Amino acid sequence: MQSPDDWQIPPEFQPDPDLLDYDLDRALASVVSLRASIPDDAFTAETLGTQRAGHGAVIRDDGLVLTIGYLIAEASEIWLTTSHGRAVQGHVLAYDYDSGFGLVQALAPLGVPALPLGNSRNAALGAQVVVGGSGGRAHSLAGQVMARQEFAGYWEYLLEDAIFTMPAHPNWGGTALLGSRGELLGIGSLQLQSSAPGGRVMPINMSVPIDALKPILDDLLTNGRSSAAPRPWLGLFATEDDRDRVVLAGLAGDGPAKRAELRAGDVLRAVAGKPVHSLASFYRALWSVGPAGIDIPLTVEREGDVFDLRVGSADRSRFLKPARLH
């Protein structure tokens, strides 16, 4: 991902304030840049790096910033910078693994307005949106919603109703998805590839809908996590192949899957006797067995041999460094 400072959206793709029914510049002032430093020995350092950069949206007048959680996972230092150049240190409050949201508290006044939380249902197919980056119009994109559908990520992650937009923002992490009244509809998470007519491949963005935040916000602010029991986590990276099989692509550090001696290339055929044919079906079967810590019965195919084994699941958060107190 590029640094937030060394790119610019071409003028023809930037949002036109004359076509919008809200104060675009005021709304974009609520989007701040975010830089995070992560210790070299952090669990996520190898996969996500030790220097991360993206954006966040100010959602409360006291400087509460909503971003995408992978930017701040295990961060030892956070800096938030407004479009006017004011830099303020931040403190990680929460990373919700189920939704993917992260919360950061600015430790001094940012001097910018807060974005109102909208309703994700307003991000309907074909809706015109602004994908807002820190730095104003030059770092923001006029786009539209191209799909609302399920999304399964290779890192044991599933969104029931993700928002997909086009064209793609080149610096997507933590961007603010703004609706027709300048309200916050979602937070940018990924850039993906979509098939287009003529065999072309088109980059698109996936955003986490803001409605996923509302039921858990109070818990995140109070306890640093959702009140729901943590899901069982195996510490694996998986993908789907063209034969509708779930295949291990890699293992996360010294997690449960590695300890159980699973290997890249293993095919996961069933969870607790229930066949799985997609990432989504695998995750649903995994999470239905019980809470984090429970043993997960797996049926695995390896080099033509099929066998059963049990993997002791874990709470993902126990493998990550806690937020440093300020």
Give the per-residue pLDDT at 7. Answer: 77
CATH 3.90.550.10 fits 236-317, yes or no: no
Instruction: Give per-residue pLDDT as tens, 198-243.
Output: 878 899 999 999 999 999 999 999 999 999 999 999 999 999 999 9
pLDDT band at 5 (very low <50, low <70, confident <90, very high): low
Domain 120-212: assigned CATH number: 2.40.10.10
Q: What is the pLDDT of residues 55-79, one digit of tens each?
A: 999 999 999 999 999 999 999 999 9
Distance CA 249, CA 87 (A): 39
CATH 3.40.1030.10 assigned to domain 19-114+216-223? The reply is no
Report domain extents, the chain: 19-114+216-223, 120-212, 236-317
Fold equal for 19-114+216-223 and 120-212: yes
Tens digits of per-residue pLDDT, 71-116? Answer: 999 999 999 999 999 999 999 999 999 999 999 999 999 999 999 9
Asked if 163 and 111 touch (Cβ cutoff 8 Å), the reply is: no
DSSP 116: P
Q: How confident is the model at residue 1 (pLDDT cuts 50, 70, 90)?
A: very low
Residue 155's pLDDT is 97
Contacts of 110 (CB under 8 A, 6+ apart): 32, 58, 63, 80, 82, 86, 88
What is the amino acid identity at position 288?
A: S
In this prediction, residues 265-287 reach a mean pLDDT of 98
Residues 6+ apart with CB under 8 A from 292: 229, 230, 231, 232, 233, 313, 314, 315, 316
CA dihedral angle for residue 224, residue 228, residue 229, residue 231, rounded to 10 degrees: -90
Percent of the chain with pLDDT over 90: 94
Residues with Cβ within 8 Å of residue 88, at least 6 apart in sequence:
63, 79, 80, 81, 82, 106, 107, 108, 109, 110
Q: 2: pLDDT confidence band, cut at 50, 70 and 90?
A: very low
